[in-house]
Structure 1
Amino acid sequence: MTALSPIPRDMAPPRARMWGEWPRAAFGIGRLALAGKRLAEAPRGDGRGVLVLPGMFNGDLSNVALRRYLDTLGYRSYRWELGRNCGTRAIGMDGERLVERIERVAQETGGPITLIGISLGGIMARLMAHRRPDLVRSVVTIVSPYAGPATATNVWRSFEWYTGQKISDPAVIAMAEEVARPLPCPSTAIWSPTDGLVNGWNCHCEDEVGCRAIRIDTSHVGAQMNPDVLRIVAEALATEGQD
């Protein structure tokens, strides 16, 4: 099996690939310093509000580079302001804290907003799009394994320990099924076949109407600081709904 061979959707990435995550992340982040011109040539933004949702264990500091980049393009980016992403402990059992945050940003910007979520943050973004379609204009997920079982990751035990949730809990299963349904708004799913923490093939659905799946070779850790991912996000926002 090569790095680019499909992994069965019920399997986690090989352990060897997982241990390579951090060196790959450092390399990807290091490329930011050399990518200024290419990033600056991305399509300009339309002034909309964009709320960025961090991945598991992470808070708003993990998304500084992405938010600053979106601001330079002409978008109005916002922090999620809910501390570290620890599942329902951060957003509320029914997501009510996150809904309140989205409502505030939408009110400030004068209309539905775009949600950009990294990993677990992307799963939450899709949940919010289903539950409050009046507030969500579009969704961009970055390496978010919403389309397969939680056990097809190398972090599901960490998820249970950190969030206090069990993946076998009926409420968690029901939420996962809700998240995986086609969204009522345009969406983009950025995924990597060489992801070392989650099964990249579960980060998109090939047949989801209205969702554009974009494949890229990136690590999971630090994907939101990879210059290639930043450029893809900018292009996705500029061309959403054109497919």
Structure 2
Amino acid sequence: MLEGRAPWEYAALLATMPWMKKLPHGDGHPVLVFPGLGAHDFTTAPLRAMLDSLGYTTQGWGQGFNFGPRAGVLEKTKADLIELHRRHGRKVSLLGWSLGGIYARELAKECPELARCVVTLGTPFTGHPRATNAWRFFEMVSGHASNDPELMAQIRKAPPVPTTSIYSKSDGVVAWRCSVNEPSPLAENIEVQASHIGLGVNPIALYALADRLAQPDGDWQPFEPKGARRWFYKTPVRP
């Protein structure tokens, strides 16, 4: 029921396109975008097109459907990050939707010198590993157990770079408490009203995303919406 809002969120995006052009613009740095569980680069195409129009250079993950960390997947994401950094001579922002956010966070931990910031959309990185409606599908397609204590302890740690979790309490797939960073000088949480499937096209979520990516490298500040925008966000958020 909650996820039935996604088509309306996409319609809202189309209706607000003139306003979206006024979002905070980027400085041309590269952004590597990871899709959610069972999703493909085509699901992030509208999101990447919006970021491209704001001045970023985006790249999809290029590995077909995301069926979890199967053999070679994580190695390929690391190679892509290294190549993007080499090609552009700049740090890369890492953006992940749902499971894709896990890849973004883990890459930033492994290669913090290459990562400018991390932004996740509805990503479950803490709390009970089965507090999502997709854990059975994850185990079936990935071959990994979703309740591995050692793995969960690793995932729960925030990367040593500016990290933002954008999430919704009305997410119909991921329990919202699983998407909340622990308080940290470089980690924050932004609550929006959105469905899980619609987070990548929801205008309110996209404004927060654009604002975060536009932060100057080396001068990151927590999200602080101004004026009427404050009505649309709740931040900071504690578990």
For the aligned pair, the TM-score class normalised by the smaller chain equals 0.7 to 0.9
**SS in structure 2 at match of 1:217:** coil
Shift of 1:48: 0.4
Residues of 2 paired with 1:168 and 1:191: CA distance?
22
Asked whether the equivalents of residues 2 and 171 of structure 2 are also in contact (C-alpha less than 8 Å), the reply is no
For residue 229 of structure 1, the aligned residue among 202, 205, 209 is 205
Q: Supply the AA of the counterpart residue of 1:20.
A: L
Q: Does 1:191 align with 2:167?
A: yes
Note the residue ranges of structure 1 that are not aligned, 5 or more in a row.
1-18
- Equivalent residue runs for 1:138-177 within 5 Å: 138-169=117-148, 173-177=149-153
Q: Supply the AA of the counterpart residue of 1:66.
A: L
- Equivalent residue runs for 1:48-67 within 5 Å: 48-67=29-48
TM, length-normalised to structure 1: 0.85
For residue 2 of structure 2, the aligned residue among 15, 20, 36 is 20
Shift of 1:208: 3.1
Residues of 2 paired with 1:31 and 1:91: CA distance?
38
The 3 A distance-change label for structure 1 pair 75 and 90 is farther
**SS in structure 1 at match of 2:144:** coil
**SS in structure 2 at match of 1:224:** coil
TM, length-normalised to structure 2: 0.87
Q: Which residue of 2 aligns with 1:5?
A: none
Query: How many residue pairs get matched?
Result: 219
Note the residue ranges of structure 2 that are not aligned, 5 or more in a row.
223-239
Shift of 1:137: 1.2
Shift of 1:71: 0.7
Identity %: 35
The 3 A distance-change label for structure 1 pair 136 and 191 is same
Q: What CA RMSD, in Å, does the superposition of the two structures yield over aligned residues?
A: 1.5
Higher relative contact order (CA 8 A, sep 6+): 1
**SS in structure 2 at match of 1:89:** coil
- 1:172-192 per-position Cα deviation (integer Å, ceiling 9, x unaligned): x33332221132100111010
Q: Does 1:205 align with 2:184?
A: no
Residues of 2 paired with 1:109 and 1:177: CA distance?
33
Q: Which residue of 2 aligns with 1:8?
A: none
**SS in structure 2 at match of 1:125:** helix
Runs of 4+ with deviation above 2 angstroms? 173-176
Q: Which residue of 2 aligns with 1:4?
A: none
